[in-house]
Structure 1
């Protein structure tokens, strides 16, 4: 036995026990007077080891040869520390070492294995197995385990059955890009890695498995950002004989349970907001409601004053930043530069300061008098000390730009507290969105989402006005989960494919197995999927999902630790009948 205790469990009650520990050397400290202290670390914590020259000179000399990350085993006596460390659970005791065995030596690590490491992102990703030794990273993975464990337990009590679905499936060109896998046994043919188990979980409902879930790997070949990875994990769920309300109540219950058990927080009932209102007041279908600062439309109050910028704009919208009239000219210029960045694309920013004496000062005083500005302030419910910020342009673009500005100002004013959690449901999404260049409709979610019953007739006359039986769970401005009531009728599913521009032959070729299954008594069904990575990152207060994934990819989709993706040997390519031609 290498150890009979771990490095995080010994306390004062264990004084005078002889114990054996094993782990990694965190650091050592050689003091005067022939004393050396070594911090021994394992997954459970840190325990201080004490080596005294006068007790055992040979052992003391061996301890002074230990380097960082050496793997060692010790046997010794638990004793009370004379200088206690209140920052450690084991900080009241230390181990007087009687025996030391070096199990494995270590080279000096490329960065310090400590909470506040000196390693940058790139080097830590290259040596991820070392980064995983650090307490914050390990804590994130332990949190991930707890959330997954509690999810399984909660859903099991509600009679959900965990069923594994295939990883090698057929490609479905709709939506994000698939990762493609060549088939050696079927030359010229390819599998795809699933973007979600959508079709299979619907087939499970046809099969009579009325409550399914799976914590499942999914894959999307798309550009990366902080909340995306090429492979990610979903808590995927489906239910039969339910409506939208049933699904929302079930998984709102799960989310409240996770907050209570994991974070010790009681979350109130989730408010609901329609997609139309989310765009109108926040410019986003995943609004961050930890703070107000809703959009206020000013177009009717700004027209006819010879300010061409406003007069020629379809939309003029404002936000009111409470207490921000103290912003300096430099800060306001910084906000202007922020919205003019290419990824945001605004042409500029207009501001109105509500001074404490009641006067209003703006960047457009040349065109608007105090009476005009007062009307703006009244509509924005601005008070002395507040700052009004205005963006104009084409409605949809300007709302998205104002959304980015709102989030930036909220961040600067400290309103996006990571320890505060605001949860809500966004409902009544459009079923379809039109690509004007291609002159065709695409599914806003996926082609199996049911339209609202009262809107079905509009599929022929006005498809763009059809609302979906769809719902997204949003927490602190992050879309954590989403789902919909599914189409379970072959005729309606066929109509949906027709609106999406599928020929009958194409629909049959890609989804014939599902359409055929519907002919054999498909029940009404609905479901949703949570992003496990996003949920964990929210609970942990992380800015990126990468830090809650054991072995993530970098921003270029590469695993720099194992150097993947990589070039494949020609022999393997020949077996797959693949010829590689790289274009400049």
Structure 2
């Protein structure tokens, strides 16, 4: 028997019991006549006392040695209120070394001295630390809650293939050679997209899967080359059905996991998001939406701005920081087509990133009045080509929010972004590309644009943004063969390519395909957001680094021998 109890459960009521414990040595303190050792397992920590006669025999014990002890539970003289076992300790009368250990490359403590690179190489040791172990427990509990909620609401969990045929889905695919079919290749699935649609065609009413997906893209703190998504699909639904159900789904998770009651989700169009915030994933925990100024510039005949395609601004209320911080902010912005006005009681200050910039008091007063500025307000004004100017001011908005500590991690503001364009022009490759994916359904009222003006078509799409992070993305799917073929052609696919890559799917659409739609949530991102962390790697047992490498097993690696 390795243990009668674990290292996290013994307490005052167990005093007098004879017990067997097994675990790793966390700390060792030799006081001469007595030796104290903290022993740790998955469940917690217990303090051990070794009498003198056992010390000399086992003086080679080191950190992370795995030991088994027999002893008696006794009352602890100095209580440790930080651990559940803090009122007791074990008086050891027998010890066995189950396995020795090398000296760990970093301390196995909640606050370790190990940097990320070292902890990635020795990930199995990092998992022994409570922060990582508890993160994996949190991930398990959230996954379990997801399965329970969806199963209770009629969703069937079905696994779909990982080795599939290569198709043009947008991101780069990982390619896997076939040993049996020489010269042919599989692709690792970027998502279960086509298979879950085929399940709807197959008569499955509601499907879900906590699915592994693979995309050959650059890794970041919120993105890995292999990741997990909560993949869902429903038959006989429209956009509102999806939004209502999955709003309740996310509310349920926040309430169950964090005891947070979310407010009703805001819903705006893709075009309004770009217009108001300069991005399709805005953070709405703070205000500062854009103020349109182009008409004002023309009406007031402000000459140096009249020639600009777009003039917009935003207002920061009651900015009471040092003016040097505004200059610091401008250095970070590094853009010439922007200026700001700090409206003060005795002196209004003007800041610009361009040395050639000039503005008189009358023009400053026009902007102050239009913004309805009050003493202390800071006005940012950007100008130039429309798309870039909105994007630029959107980044400035986030920089200001960071600078003023407006991104409260304890506040969650979900936002549905709907009606995005179905296609966007790729200037580099001189062809259209899908904003979501090629199977997204157009809005019925925009179908007349399909033949000649595809860039004007809005889609039945919806993205869930929480605190500026895209957590989920989905759409109602195309269930009409002719519309699907037209979308493929707009994407530059020839009839031969359509048949080669999607022939099976086009054929399936002709067998009474029901209207259907779905959504996929990034599980790693969702957990990271719920826990207020800043890196999804902390919630993945064996993550890749930002170069897509597993430094522990040294993957990827060169093939030394030909694959048999």
* TM-score of the two chains, using structure 1 as the length reference: 0.91
Matched residue, 2:341: 352
Matched residue, 2:108: 113
Inter-CA distance 393–366: structure 2 relative to 1 (3 Å threshold): closer
Task: State the shift of 1:199 in Å.
Answer: 0.5
Instruction: Determine whether 1:125 maps to 2:120.
Output: yes
For residues 302 and 30 of structure 1, the distance between their equivalents in structure 2, rounded to whole angstroms, comes to: 78
Instruction: Determine whether 1:428 maps to 2:422.
Output: no
Instruction: Determine whether 1:287 maps to 2:276.
Output: no
Instruction: Determine whether 1:37 maps to 2:32.
Output: no
Deviations 1:110-159 (A, max 9, x none): 11111111111111111111111111111111111111110001111011
For residues 387 and 59 of structure 2, the distance between their equivalents in structure 1, rounded to whole angstroms, comes to: 66
Is the 2:337–2:384 contact (alpha carbons within 8 Å) kept by the matching residues of 1? no
Inter-CA distance 413–546: structure 2 relative to 1 (3 Å threshold): same
Task: State the shift of 1:291 in Å.
Answer: 1.1
Matched residue, 1:6: 6
3-state SS of 2:508 partner: helix
Which of these residues, 183, 189, 200, is aligned with residue 194 of structure 1?
Answer: 189
Is the 1:336–1:349 contact (alpha carbons within 8 Å) kept by the matching residues of 2? no
Which of these residues, 169, 187, 206, is aligned with residue 201 of structure 2?
Answer: 206
3-state SS of 1:442 partner: strand
For residues 282 and 306 of structure 1, the distance between their equivalents in structure 2, rounded to whole angstroms, comes to: 24
Task: State the shift of 1:57 in Å.
Answer: 1.6
Is the 1:164–1:214 contact (alpha carbons within 8 Å) kept by the matching residues of 2? yes
Task: State the shift of 1:500 in Å.
Answer: 2.1
For residues 205 and 464 of structure 1, the distance between their equivalents in structure 2, rounded to whole angstroms, comes to: 29
Instruction: Determine whether 1:361 maps to 2:355.
Output: no
Matched residue, 1:401: 392
Inter-CA distance 410–186: structure 2 relative to 1 (3 Å threshold): same
For residues 49 and 358 of structure 1, the distance between their equivalents in structure 2, rounded to whole angstroms, comes to: 70
3-state SS of 2:389 partner: helix
For residues 381 and 232 of structure 1, the distance between their equivalents in structure 2, rounded to whole angstroms, comes to: 47
Is the 1:293–1:319 contact (alpha carbons within 8 Å) kept by the matching residues of 2? yes
Q: Which moved more, 1:217-226 or 1:7-16?
A: 7-16
Task: State the shift of 1:305 in Å.
Answer: 7.5
Inter-CA distance 24–460: structure 2 relative to 1 (3 Å threshold): same
Which of these residues, 327, 337, 343, is aligned with residue 333 of structure 1?
Answer: 327
For residues 381 and 215 of structure 1, the distance between their equivalents in structure 2, rounded to whole angstroms, comes to: 50
For residues 288 and 327 of structure 1, the distance between their equivalents in structure 2, rounded to whole angstroms, comes to: 25
Inter-CA distance 74–433: structure 2 relative to 1 (3 Å threshold): same
1:263-282 pair list within 5 angstroms? 263-282=258-277
Task: State the shift of 1:348 in Å.
Answer: 5.6
Deviations 1:404-459 (A, max 9, x none): 22222212222112222111211111111011343321111011000011111111
Deviations 1:14-41 (A, max 9, x none): 222222221111112234x633322211
1:42-53 pair list within 5 angstroms? 42-51=41-50
Deviations 1:88-119 (A, max 9, x none): 23222222223222111111111111111111
Inter-CA distance 246–112: structure 2 relative to 1 (3 Å threshold): same
For residues 382 and 38 of structure 2, the distance between their equivalents in structure 1, rounded to whole angstroms, comes to: 56
Instruction: Determine whether 1:453 maps to 2:444.
Output: yes
Matched residue, 1:579: none
Instruction: Determine whether 1:532 maps to 2:531.
Output: no
For residues 279 and 84 of structure 2, the distance between their equivalents in structure 1, rounded to whole angstroms, comes to: 44
1:493-504 pair list within 5 angstroms? 493-504=484-495
Instruction: Determine whether 1:382 maps to 2:382.
Output: no
3-state SS of 1:455 partner: helix
For residues 282 and 419 of structure 1, the distance between their equivalents in structure 2, rounded to whole angstroms, comes to: 22
Deviations 1:176-234 (A, max 9, x none): 10100011111111100000010000000011111111111100001222111110001
Is the 1:325–1:387 contact (alpha carbons within 8 Å) kept by the matching residues of 2? no
* TM-score of the two chains, using structure 2 as the length reference: 0.95
Deviations 1:445-491 (A, max 9, x none): 01100001111111123211111000011111110111000001112
Task: State the shift of 1:64 in Å.
Answer: 4.8
Matched residue, 2:496: 505
Q: Which moved more, 1:154-163 or 1:411-420?
A: 411-420
Matched residue, 2:92: 97
Which of these residues, 162, 166, 184, is aligned with residue 167 of structure 1?
Answer: 162
Inter-CA distance 90–551: structure 2 relative to 1 (3 Å threshold): same
Is the 1:290–1:420 contact (alpha carbons within 8 Å) kept by the matching residues of 2? yes
Matched residue, 2:231: 236
Matched residue, 2:130: 135
For residues 555 and 357 of structure 2, the distance between their equivalents in structure 1, rounded to whole angstroms, comes to: 59
Q: Which moved more, 1:313-322 or 1:547-556?
A: 313-322
Is the 1:72–1:103 contact (alpha carbons within 8 Å) kept by the matching residues of 2? yes
Inter-CA distance 511–121: structure 2 relative to 1 (3 Å threshold): same
For residues 328 and 96 of structure 1, the distance between their equivalents in structure 2, rounded to whole angstroms, comes to: 64
Instruction: Determine whether 1:157 maps to 2:146.
Output: no
Inter-CA distance 403–301: structure 2 relative to 1 (3 Å threshold): same
Deviations 1:292-351 (A, max 9, x none): 12222333445688774x45532333232233242332x2232222222xxxxx336422
Task: State the shift of 1:242 in Å.
Answer: 1.1
Inter-CA distance 362–71: structure 2 relative to 1 (3 Å threshold): same
What are the ranges of 5 or more consecutive residues in structure 1 without an aligned counterpart?
A: 341-345, 576-584
Inter-CA distance 521–61: structure 2 relative to 1 (3 Å threshold): same
Is the 1:77–1:96 contact (alpha carbons within 8 Å) kept by the matching residues of 2? yes
1:289-304 pair list within 5 angstroms? 289-302=284-297
Root-mean-square deviation over aligned CA pairs: 2.0
Matched residue, 2:15: 15
What are the ranges of 5 or more consecutive residues in structure 2 without an aligned counterpart?
A: none
